[in-house]
């Protein structure tokens, strides 16, 4: 017989358990991805766009540890027009005649000619363009005709003037009862309704910015979740529930706190959080003596709020040496604060004293709540042109706030302590700064003069721009760009102690001169330079 091909006896393969098979497939896919450079992007939480028309989810992706969103998705959501620029290799975004220009691999956007920094470079992937999610509030908000509020931590974008308070929920066990604390900012009233299986907390709001916490139940509270309506939270009760007590706890003027104590059936009632009683019963109170009017304090500078731009995940501009805008602004802010307190004896506050993110509106609100007399926001600049350098000083351009300015202020009457009443002026957030533009312009001019004597200045050293951080400040307010981190020479200078001390000294001297114009009625020693609209040559 002719010999045939060799024969091999192979034992029958045993079926692999599903979990093991899946594990092996995952390993194979991972090795393949590493070999071919196709590592799949980590899963990202979509952005939720919240408007009066409802909610809409926009997908995001992660590129180099940064959350990005596709421009075509934003264009669909915000009715934007996108146009490729084949000559420059860039992208132009248009909304009602206003434009934003982007270049791939650049962490900068040109908004109507004004350059704003992005926390990460723009990415072009085939025909798709990806931008950091911060593009929404840093660039898109400057051209959009409706207020955009990006809340990065909760992946929420609030469009328009919806009431969407931030809500922090803290459940805890205390002995034989459960306690749920709701902290709401800004202050928001609420009502609590007991249903057969839950407590429903309804807030006077359009929606809620909240994260649901995990609960250790012990049979009193099973879960805490969103209710059937967007402004409600449901506390789902456990089988041991007997009764509850709700207490409104006094806090500051900008927030509210409600504490709900849940007690087991058959247990003693939950103790109330003590609230100081009035000194005498209202019925027994003697007639109030007329109060002597308190003379108003003379005009002056007593509290100064210094705002170190960016912070936390908001790194701002980045220098070629790796220096970050958020670090430089904090360093200069601390130096200026120390000088003001030690040499002037004034109250100086920082909107952040660490590497934390603070929203633009919260920075102005911090200054308002502390009754600041001056607000100075510190930043470092960036440009596509590496040779651009020089410091710049900005005060608010009221463009885009004209309609709100027509409303200006309104007056309401509130009861006064000791009897009687008093008129209170209510100032709209969007027009708070417009009342101080003249003094803000004077302050900007003085800062420019002091800076010019010590550091390089931009071609257009004093400008106006519609910066959101300045809009709500109810006091003279300016924004200072200390230099360009994209310029190698200024990058090195901005990191040096000598340069930072010089910037702080110039700002200090300008504050002293401005104080003289307020307290002594002395005019500035030189004429305030006229501002140029941002972006014009």
pLDDT along the chain (537 residues), means of 10: 38 38 39 37 78 91 91 94 85 93 90 84 90 93 92 90 92 82 91 91 93 83 92 92 87 83 71 40 40 46 94 90 94 94 90 91 89 95 90 84 44 44 46 84 95 93 90 92 94 94 95 84 48 40
- Residue 4's pLDDT is what? 42
Residue with tokens 């010590």: 454
- How far is Cα 235 from Cα 201, in angstroms, rounded to an integer? 8
Residue 280 belongs to some domain of the structure = no
To the nearest 10°, report the CA torsion of 484, 485, 489, 492. Answer: 130
Residue 209 CB coordination number (10 Å)? 20
Domain stops at, among 94, 125, 159:
159
- Residue 236's pLDDT is what? 93
Residue 144 belongs to some domain of the structure = yes
Angle, to 10 degrees, between the axis of helix 437-452 and the axis of helix 497-519? 140
* 192/142 same-domain check: no
- Residue 143's pLDDT is what? 92
* 241/346 same-domain check: no
* 382/401 same-domain check: yes
- Residue 442's pLDDT is what? 93
Classify burial at 94, counting beta carbons within 10 Å of its beta carbon; exposed 0-12, middle 13-18, buried 19 or more. middle
CATH number of domain containing 412: 3.40.630.40
* 118/179 same-domain check: no
Residue 39 belongs to some domain of the structure = no
* 473/501 same-domain check: yes
CATH number of domain containing 92: 3.30.457.10
Q: What is the arrangement of strands in the sheet containing 156-159, beginning at the earlier edge strand?
A: 54-58, 47-51, 156-159, 148-151
- How far is Cα 455 from Cα 463, in angstroms, rounded to an integer? 17
- Residue 412's pLDDT is what? 43
CATH number of domain containing 195: 2.60.40.3500
Q: Residues 200, 192: contact at Cβ < 8 Å?
A: yes
pTM here?
0.48
* 130/199 same-domain check: no
Sign of CA pseudo-dihedral 356, 360, 366, 372: positive
* 194/144 same-domain check: no
* 240/382 same-domain check: no
- Residue 205's pLDDT is what? 93
* 485/344 same-domain check: yes
* 248/321 same-domain check: no
Q: Prior bond to 186 cis, omega within 30?
A: yes
* 400/510 same-domain check: yes
Residue 514 belongs to some domain of the structure = yes
Q: Residues 366, 351: contact at Cβ < 8 Å?
A: yes
When divided into structural domains, the chain yields a total of: 3
Q: Which two tokens stand for residue 189?
A: 């009233």
Residue 393 belongs to some domain of the structure = yes
- Residue 255's pLDDT is what? 83
Domain stops at, among 244, 269, 294:
269
Residue 40 belongs to some domain of the structure = no
- How far is Cα 389 from Cα 96, in angstroms, rounded to an integer? 32
Phi then psi dihedrals of residue 137, to 5 deg: -90, -20
Residue 9 belongs to some domain of the structure = no
Contact residues for 82 (Cβ-Cβ < 8 A; gap 6+): 71, 72, 75, 91, 92, 93, 94, 129
- Residue 533's pLDDT is what? 43
- Residue 399's pLDDT is what? 64
- Residue 43's pLDDT is what? 57
* 133/170 same-domain check: no
Residue 77 belongs to some domain of the structure = yes
- How far is Cα 228 from Cα 226, in angstroms, rounded to an integer? 7
Q: State the residue range of the domain holding 148.
A: 47-159
Domain stops at, among 219, 247, 269:
269
- How far is Cα 100 from Cα 85, in angstroms, rounded to an integer? 12
């Amino acid at each position: 017989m002719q010999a045939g091909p060799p024969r091999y006896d192979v034992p029958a393969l045993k079926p692999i358990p599903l979990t093991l098979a899946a594990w092996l497939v995952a390993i194979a896919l991972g090795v393949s991805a590493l070999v071919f450079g196709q590592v799949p992007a980590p899963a990202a939480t979509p952005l939720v766009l919240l408007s009066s028309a409802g909610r809409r989810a926009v997908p995001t992706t992660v590129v180099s540890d940064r959350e990005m969103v596709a421009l075509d998705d934003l264009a669909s959501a915000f009715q934007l027009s996108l146009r490729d620029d084949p000559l420059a290799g860039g992208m132009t975004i248009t909304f009602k005649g206003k434009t934003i220009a982007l270049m791939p691999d650049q962490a900068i956007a040109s908004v109507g000619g004004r350059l704003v920094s992005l926390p990460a470079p723009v990415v072009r992937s085939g025909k798709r363009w990806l931008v950091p999610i911060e593009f929404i509030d840093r660039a898109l908000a400057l051209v959009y005709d409706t207020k955009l509020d990006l809340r990065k931590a909760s992946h929420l974008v609030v469009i328009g003037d919806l009431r969407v308070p931030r809500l922090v929920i803290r459940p805890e066990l205390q002995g034989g009862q459960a306690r749920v604390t709701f902290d709401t900012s800004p202050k928001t009233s609420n009502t609590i309704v007991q249903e057969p299986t839950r407590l429903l907390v309804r807030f006077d709001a359009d929606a809620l910015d909240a994260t649901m916490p995990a609960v250790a139940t012990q049979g009193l509270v099973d879960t805490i979740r969103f209710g059937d309506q967007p402004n409600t939270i449901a506390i789902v009760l456990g089988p041991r529930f007997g009764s509850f007590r709700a207490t409104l706890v006094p806090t500051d003027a900008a927030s509210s706190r409600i504490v709900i104590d849940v007690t087991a059936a058959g247990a003693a009632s939950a103790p109330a959080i003590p609230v100081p009683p009035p000194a005498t019963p209202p019925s027994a109170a003697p007639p109030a003596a007329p109060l002597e009017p308190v003379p108003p304090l003379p005009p002056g500078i007593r509290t100064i709020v210094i705002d170190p731009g960016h912070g936390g995940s908001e790194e701002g501009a980045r220098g070629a040496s790796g220096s970050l805008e958020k670090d430089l602004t904090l360093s200069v802010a601390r130096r200026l604060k120390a000088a003001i307190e030690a040499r002037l004896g004034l109250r100086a506050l920082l909107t952040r004293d660490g590497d934390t993110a603070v929203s633009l509106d919260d920075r102005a609100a911090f200054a308002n709540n502390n009754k600041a007399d001056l607000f100075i926001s510190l930043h470092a600049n960036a440009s596509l042109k590496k040779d651009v350098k020089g410091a710049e000083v900005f005060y608010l351009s009221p463009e885009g706030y004209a309609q709100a300015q027509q409303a200006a202020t309104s007056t309401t009457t509130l009861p006064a302590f000791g009897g009687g009443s008093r008129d209170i002026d209510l100032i709209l957030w969007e027009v708070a700064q417009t009342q101080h533009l003249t003094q803000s312009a004077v302050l900007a001019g003085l800062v420019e003069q002091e800076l010019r004597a010590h550091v390089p200045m931009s071609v257009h050293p004093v400008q106006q721009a519609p910066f959101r951080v300045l809009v709500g400040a109810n006091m003279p307010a300016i924004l200072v760009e200390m230099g360009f981190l994209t310029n190698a020479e200024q990058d090195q200078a901005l990191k040096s102690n000598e340069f930072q001390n010089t910037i702080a000294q110039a700002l200090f001297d300008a504050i002293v001169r401005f104080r003289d114009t307020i307290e002594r009625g002395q005019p500035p020693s030189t004429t305030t330079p006229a501002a140029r609209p941002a972006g014009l040559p």
